[in-house]
Structure formats: structure tokens, C-alpha cells
Amino acid sequence: DTGVSQDPRHKITKRGQNVTFRCDPISEHNRLYWYRQTLGQGPEFLTYFQNEAQLEKSRLLSDRFSAERPKGSFSTLEIQRTEQGDSAMYLCASSLVPQRTYGYTFGSGTRLTVV
């Protein structure tokens, strides 16, 4: 287990198309987070799971966005009817709670470009 994996690394899609991203967390981590990062900004929270339960969704997450973690392992993030404003880096992170530190391990991200 070498860390958090995200697939694909890059995705170019036409406006209006649906896209799905996958995240495989560190295997023993029970929490999984999705963040979005645009150029020059810090990671912006989207949603997170503890095991298979989705515990919080940001108000920024419109109804075009949906995330799942069906078996408490990998997660998918789907964006329906993509818009140009969805262009960003989508970062996944995982952590284990409870533990001494609450720090995340991030994946390398999926860069989405909507044209």
C-alpha cells in the first residue's frame, strides 16, 4: 500500500458531459475526504466519509455532485452535466481516527478541464 491513489490523473470533458473519479485510500484508513482546489487557492472541502457513511457535504456541493463509498474502501465522485466552473483539481485524502494526529494523506488528484 503506497498511499492514496486517484484515477484518472487528468480528465478533459465537454460541457454537459458526466464524469466520475475514483479514489483508493490507504487501506487501514476509515475516513475519506474529497476536496477541490483551484489555481492559487487552498483545498476547499466537498464531502467526507467515515467508513461507508457520508457524514458531511459542503453547501458548495450542488446536486450535480454525488459521492459514494459503498463498501467503506474506495470512493467515487461523480459530476453530472459538467460546467466550465467545475474545472479544478479534485483531491482525495484519507485518515485514521481516532489517532494521535488528525492529519490527512492526500492523493495526487484528478485535474478536470471542462471545455
Partner 1 sequence: GENVEQHPSTLSVQEGDSAVIKCTYSDSASNYFPWYKQELGKRPQLIIDIRSNVGEKKDQRIAVTLNKTAKHFSLHITETQPEDSAVYFCAARDTGFQKLVFGTGTRLLVSP
Residues that bind partner 1 (CB under 8 A): 33, 35, 40-45, 48, 55-56, 91, 97, 101-109
Q: In the complex with partner 1, which residue's Cβ is closer, 8 or 102? A: 102
Q: In the complex with partner 1, which residue's Cβ is closer, 36 or 82? A: 36
Cβ count near 66 (within 10 Å): 15
For residue 53, give the amino acid letter: A
**What minimum distance in Å lies between the beta carbon of 48 and partner 1?**
6
Give the phi and the psi of residue 84 in degrees, each rounded to 5. -60, -30
User: How does strand 110-114 pair with strand 10-13?
Assistant: parallel
**What minimum distance in Å lies between the beta carbon of 15 and partner 1?**
25
**What minimum distance in Å lies between the beta carbon of 63 and partner 1?**
20
End-to-end Cα, the chain, rounded Å: 35
CB 71 within 8 A of CB 51: no
Q: In the complex with partner 1, which residue's Cβ is closer, 14 or 53? A: 53
